Structure 1
Amino acid sequence: MANSSRPDTPAGLRALRWPLRLTWAGMLAENLSRALWPLLAVVFAVLAMLMLGLQDIVMIEVVWSVAVVSTLAGLGALVYAFRQFRLPTRAQALARLDASLPGRPIQALMDDQAIGQGDAASAAVWAAHQKRMAARAAQARAVPGDLRVARFDPFALRYVALLAFVMALLFGSIWRVGSVTEMTPGGGGLATGPVWEGWAESPRYTGLPTIYLNDIPEGPLKLPVGSLITMRLYGEVGALTVSETVSGRKGDVPPASGAAHDFTVAQNGRISVGGPGGRTWQVAVVPDDAPQVQILDDPTSAALGEMTLPFAASDDYGVEAGEVRIALDLPRVDRIYGLTPAPEDRPEIIVPLPMPIAGDRAAFEENFVEDFSEHPWANLPVTITLSVLDAAEQQSQSDPREITLPGRRFFDPLAAAIIEMRRDLLWNRTNAERSAQILRAVSYQPQEVFRKETQYLQLRHAIRKMETLAHYGINDEQQQALADDLWDLAIDLEEGDLADALDRMRQAQERLEQAMREGASEAEIAELMNELRRATEDYLKQLGQQAQREAEQNGGQQPDQQDGMQMTQDDLQKMMDRIQELMEQGRMAEAEEALKELQEMMENMRVTQGQGQNGQSPGEQAMEGLSETLRDQQGLSDEAFRDLQEQFNPNAQAGESQGNQGRNGGQGRGQEHSQGQGGEGEGSEGAQNGDQQGDQQGGGSLADRQQALRDELSRQQGNMPGAGTPEGDAAREALDRAGRAMERAEEALRDGDNAGAIDNQAQAMEALREGMRALGEAMAQEERERQPGQGTAQGDQRAEARDPLGRTPGANGGTGTDEGLLQGEDVYRRARELLDEIRRRSAQGERPQVELDYLERLLDRF
């Protein structure tokens, strides 16, 4: 039986002195928190009230009452603390530490062997037990105190007091605590420290900070108009006073000795705090200017009626909003035909003015873009006024400008007539009968003016409805419904059947020609030119699809195209680029003549897809276009490299700098680079041809030609087949990288960094090769899907008929063939290797001149 009555500490417990001390300290903190939390809550609550200055804004009786209650609460909390607090003993700390260990080893170490002391075996067992308990005790760690007092404070009053104290620290002042001494008997004079406080808060829209007036010395003070002044006086009533002349207040003004003063700065004046520590400021008001807005230019109109109006607005603190007001200018209206009756009352057009989404609104320029084509005032004289509003609700207007409200232009005569009758109907509904009669007259012979019977039936229905309503009276809903029907019919007549691509292309040509004759704006002509491009592309695409269907019906044979003249997509593109260039230069007569030539060629020639090769598929066309782009890019890279060489070789030979455009870049210029100075004969002829072609196609700096090549690549990307397939997507991604590399090369060329341009051009060429490789895989996959397989006998027969280069011979036993040198998945790698080998050999000057000329012709071709 063990005996635990020994008062001394065993040697095994000496290592526990620090864990024991820390455990004792935790128990002390635990007892203090449980005993003192009411007293701390009372102290925090009282300090919070004093720091927030509640004693200065309530009656003195309330202050004394709160003081008495706080004193009683403090005494009660102090008594509670004395009754609850117990200083922890060493034995209590040792017991808590022992309870945290398994088997209570500390208690075991303090026990003695009660029986079997003379027995060696029992003594050995006891010693082993003591040793094991000592090892456990050595692992003891200090037990933290339990500081939770929630069970003693179920209503969390301590947190309420602590929150009030934190708020007082943030928004109050420790100096306000001293003001309570003024309320005690015998308290004389004002409390030490600041006895007044003041703030000047600028309007929020100014973005200016709040000024703490205690930190501002006497003298001049600039404040924005509308600033809020807040003054607070502490101490004996009447010891301090506030006077001001900046608010312009009259009548109900609080006494100067009041504890709180709030007023707004409206004019120049003076703010003064009288008494000990008082100050005076001469306030100069910074006015808030009204916003300004002006119309920069007359509005421009697009072909489809969209109006663009440039304007500028400004304000010292930023414009908040704006609006556009459009009113009918009746005196300037030509009152004839359907405009003879008085117009119906219509409200002004009010549209919000666009504001910058990001950035500073203090001064900006924007474009007001809106389409008023369907409004009754379209193409009629109006006055337009812009107005803007700032944060202070000050509003300004621009000078009214007299304009003709832009609307959509209708080139089809029947559509234009319908739109005019629609305008007359909306001008005054009494024009309904007259409009119906005119529309009947216009459509008297429908076979001559309508392309579709449905359009004629729509017009007849609208005419009958108009005549019926004109007899019984037209309300607002019926009037608008009739106007909508006429508008939809006019749009259908103007645009035609979108599925009929040829008619749409012809209409686009006619609209562009009419716009040039009538002197339309540049924006309108540009939009009509884009419409012609889109219509032509749609027509060519549908024509190619039709040719493909015919080829499938003929068993894969392409239709005979030898009898008809052919025109490639590149030829069309160059012609339209030429027309647009002439229009941009103001040479409208030449542009109109070129447009007529285009119309005649489109009517008389058979337009085929491809680059001039019979029977080319869209994939083959795209492949040939990319090959041409790759050759042009290689030529530009060669020129950039030679220019870089000439920068470090001022004594370059003739032809190495001036007018040099490389082998591939200028199609003939700069032959002297590879032929020495003996570039006569073919080289001279090529140089002359290159000069002529370079002026037309390759003129300008390297940077301009690099930009043109990048634009050409973008155009080719839009016509690339294989969309939606992994191979086609890979080709487009590679061409995107090539385009970005070309853009970087262009920037480097403009900055004079030829070395950087060459690096980017190399990346562009590598990306082009990857795109061609992926496009070839897409074409092969498409071919496999179109032709699942061929008979082995037929394949063997074709294999036996191939020439040593792997090509099939031409028809009728001829030796010529249009087939490539290689077939298979590694075509482009092999082609790149052959091209590199040709370049390497062409650079070896020891080779015969005949061979060098042949290699040069190969490079110029490929």
Structure 2
Amino acid sequence: MVRRMAKTQNPLTPVLARLRRPLSLTWAGLIAERLVRAFWPVWSLLAAGAAMLMLGLQDMAPVEVVWSALMLGGLAVLAFALQGARRFRFPRRSEALARLDEALPGRPLAALADEQAIGATDPGSQALWRAHLARMAVRAAEAKAVEPDLKLSRQDPFGLRYIALLGLVVALLFGSVWRAGSVAQMVPGGGNGAALASGPTWEGWVEPPAYTGLPSLYLNDQDETLRAPVGSRITLRFYGEVGALSLAETVSQRTENIGAATDAEHRFELRQSGEMRIDGPGGRAWQVEATPDMAPMVSLSQEGAKTAFDGQMSQPFQASDDYGVTGGRAVFALDLAQVDRRYGLAVAPEPRAPIELDLPMPIAGDRAEFGETLIENLSEHPWAHLPVVLDVRVEDAIGQQGMAEPMQMTLPARRFFNPLAAAVIEQRRDLLWSRENAPRVAQVLRAVSYKPGPSLFRSEAAYLRMRVILRRLEVMTASDGLDGDERDEIAQALWDLGVLLEDGDVGDALERMRAAQERLSEAMKNDASEEEIARLMQELRDATQDYLRQKMQQAQRENPEQGDQQSAENTMQMTQQDLQDMMDRIQELMEQGRMAEAQQALEEFQQMMENMQVTQGQTGQSPGQEAMEGLADTLREQQGLSDQAFRDLQEQFNPGAQSGQSQGNEGRNGGQGRGQSHDGQQGQGGGEGGEQPGQQGEGQQDQADEQDQAGSLAERQEALRQELERQSQGLPQLGGEAGDAAREALGRAGRAMEGAEEALRNDDLADAIDNQAEAMDALREGMRNMDEAMAEQRNPGGQGEAFGEAGKQQSDPLGRNPGQGRQAGTQDDLLQGEDVYRRARELLDEIRRRSGEGARPDVELEYLKRLLERF
């Protein structure tokens, strides 16, 4: 009997006992899935309604609209609830079992519920069936709960549920659950019951315009006198019995859509001073003073207005407004009546729009009253040095404008002292004035360049450039006349020529400085006026700065060896600030009337400037610097070898190519100059004495020559590797992680060079190029690590390069010189050559963008917040 019961027992029963937990979870998920699909419109409507109530939208709409919306919303919720109840079907346990079985491979639960249909009496079939059931039982024991499918994209393709949830989240963040209680006050006999019992009441607010930055006022707390800006929005609400309270006011100037004085809510804007009164129990009256928004004011300042040596204009201005200036513009208009209409300006000018520039505004701080400087370089404009009228106007938040007194001036621009440069710039101005001047401009340029003397042009390049410009101008004029683009192209070429003639080289800068010194000395001897001496002194300062700049550029180009410089014992080192102090001393002596002493100081200054030599760096190099320069030379040699190997690889696939003509043949055979040929001989491509394309030249070699060249490359690679090993052994003692990393990187570079050498001997140029690239990367990495290690040795405190090396002028953490001569601080420009105001605005926009990215770390967001604080 026991044996028979064991036979007939269902194998699924013990399995289901073990799967009770995953089956229950799957069943619960199935219930949640059907609930969500049936009732998602209900909770979406409830979330949207709660969001609107917590945000207080019911307070902004009439009572009728609020009640209509509530009734429609309630009916919609009821309809969707009934529809969901009809659609919802409670899942059976068998459905949960089927879903759990579907998630298993081979549906083991269904297999365990099956019975053997054939072969029930066959022992072999019975054994196979029992083995099958055992395997299915093992699979069923691994069953896990099936996650419910809660996606509603098919039922809600427009994502309305997400909109409702978003509104609820916004309401929870920015609204209040207490604001939803205001709906109860709209219920007849409900929320107003207490108000009716205690009598009618009221409340009100005054909200100034947002641009004023003033706080809102609660009328219940205000005295009998009320001051508020024009445009403030006043809101009054009456609670209690309708008609018990009424409003009387003379401040809004309303004539239409006024409504009844006893309405439950009043909204209007303050337009004029007057009286506002609430009549009824608990009423109050106010004398309202409307403060007008005054128009902004702006004025130009002559003090501080200047034009730099390169023509950059600086025009200070002051602006003010009661609530802050939002923007402004400066407009330069040609004063045609004041123009000297002679020569090229005698013809009628072509129409040209006025020059409009945005005024710089303070990036941070209050804009109610400030002073700024308009900085711009208008040297290339056709009106340069011509009479113009400057109109400056500013604007406030409501569009009111204030304008400064128009200023008559000549448009500030660069001055050209070289006569030929000044003539070229004048002809450029005439050409831009009117295209009718093109024949005259060509005639003048041809006249000044005809049989030039030895001192007229600074170089043959300047003369040839003028002849090319002249030829193009004559051709364009003779064909169909100049169009706008051609005229602008010729004008740009003339400007470049004028700058070349004016600036020249170091010798030209020295001549300009000497001329400025002579003019100043002559003015001192002739007892010139203070204004004239001040102007000439400024010219001397500008010429001196230009000479120093040219001298420094020449030193950078020549890069003289340290051995060619004077020794430290025989060299007097002076900084640019020291020279500035000497010129300040000369000007101080002149202002005191001590002209003899000033003349002597000026001669000493002139003699010192002529004998000055600009040097760079220190007179000696440390072992670390010598090692860095040696590694840099090794890197350049390796780059040259890699370039040659690459060109040889190209020639293998294109034997007819003109070798040595690619990009000036730089780096060929590892050389540093241009035009080096494949065999190491000097040449200039297709120049004089060189092979012409198509002829048999240095780029065509037979197979034996190519093999010899590959062997030469391998030998040179070997020599370069040995040189690197020698340099690695002679490195200075560098400690720390950076020093270890430098030695390890140089070791990798040596191994890569050895691989490149072996590949070159096997004529495997592709593999050699890969190894050479790896060697160059390792060399660069080693040099970076070596530089970090030397910086750590120079400054163990960890302040980087801010303190500099021994014997050098120290700088602050921003890299600026901390003070020289008699001055504390630095006169170095932090942003040279660009619009500092535009750059500051770009930086502020970038800081604001980053501060709005919530994914950034809290520490960084806090730092950005501090940067945005206005002091």
TM-score (norm 1): 0.50
Q: Kindly name which structure, 1 or 2, has the bigger radius of gyration based on alpha carbons.
A: 1
TM-score (norm 2): 0.49
